[in-house]
């Protein structure tokens, strides 16, 4: 595993991500959204991702949730086109209003199967952190957790299982194996084994 060297670009990206997401909270909680961004960046670096991937991890939701195409252009200007391309690959839409939930998720699942290794790493880290959070809340609060999600219980479980199958084509590294375990446990607790 390679060691990621971080520069002032990462610090700048964290400041920018903090600025963009400062008022956001994790779905249905009082947890600052930036905790998710830091967790995804940590998972990316722990999996051997380079600085561009770590920066993209901090910014992976910026286009989708904080400004669309204008934010994408700013990311490219500030952090380079390689970072912006990874963010693009992790974005299921830059449209406002967003297209219908199921359609967006089906397109994302199909896209991620053939995405670059960098996009797949950041995407898997994102979905791993999200699924760990869902699992923890499922263990604490039971089926109440599904009310937070547009897809509800059935749609959310479908989405994470479809992602696991899509990621499977790219090998079975740590992030994939961990995601597969967490999703299987989510399904077990939800009675979907």
* 8-189 CATH: 1.10.3210.10
Bridge partner residues of 25 (DSSP): 32
Q: Which of 65, 74, 113, 187 is catalytic?
A: 65
Q: What Cα–Cα distance (Å) separates residue 78 from each residue in 8, 9, 12, 74, 95?
A: 12, 9, 9, 6, 22
User: What are the structural domain ranges in the chain?
Assistant: 8-189
136 or 67, greater pLDDT: 136
Q: What percent of the chain has pLDDT above 70?
A: 96
Model confidence band, residue 193 (pLDDT cutoffs 50, 70, 90): low
- Whether 64 sits among the annotated catalytic residues: the reply is yes
Q: Which of 47, 53, 61, 64 is catalytic?
A: 64
SS (H, E, C) 106-159: HHHHHHHCCCCHHHHHHHHHHHHHHHHHHHHHHHHHHHHHHHHCCCHHHHHHHH
Helix 51-59, helix 117-141: angle, nearest 10: 50
Task: Tell if the pTM clears 0.85, that is, is over it.
Answer: yes
pLDDT tens track for 102-138: 999 999 999 999 999 999 999 999 999 999 999 999 9
- Whether 185 sits among the annotated catalytic residues: the reply is no
């Amino acid at each position: 595993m390679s060691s990621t060297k971080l520069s002032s670009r990462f610090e700048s990206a964290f400041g920018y991500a903090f600025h963009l997401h400062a008022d956001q909270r994790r779905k249905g909680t009082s947890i600052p959204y930036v905790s998710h961004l830091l967790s995804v960046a940590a998972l990316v670096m722990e999996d051997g991702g380079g600085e561009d991937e770590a920066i993209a991890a901090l910014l992976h939701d910026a286009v989708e949730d904080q400004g669309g195409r204008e934010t994408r252009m700013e990311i490219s200007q500030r952090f380079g086109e390689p970072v912006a391309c990874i963010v693009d690959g992790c974005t299921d839409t830059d449209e406002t209003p967003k297209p219908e939930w199921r359609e967006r998720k089906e397109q994302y699942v199909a896209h991620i199967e053939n995405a670059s290794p960098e996009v797949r790493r950041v995407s898997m880290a994102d979905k791993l952190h999200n699924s760990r959070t869902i699992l923890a809340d499922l263990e604490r609060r039971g089926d109440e957790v599904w009310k937070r999600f547009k897809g509800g219980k059935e749609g959310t479980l479908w989405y994470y299982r479809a992602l696991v199958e899509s990621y499977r084509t790219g090998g079975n590294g740590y992030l994939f194996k961990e995601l597969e375990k967490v999703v299987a446990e989510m399904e077990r607790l939800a009675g979907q084994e």
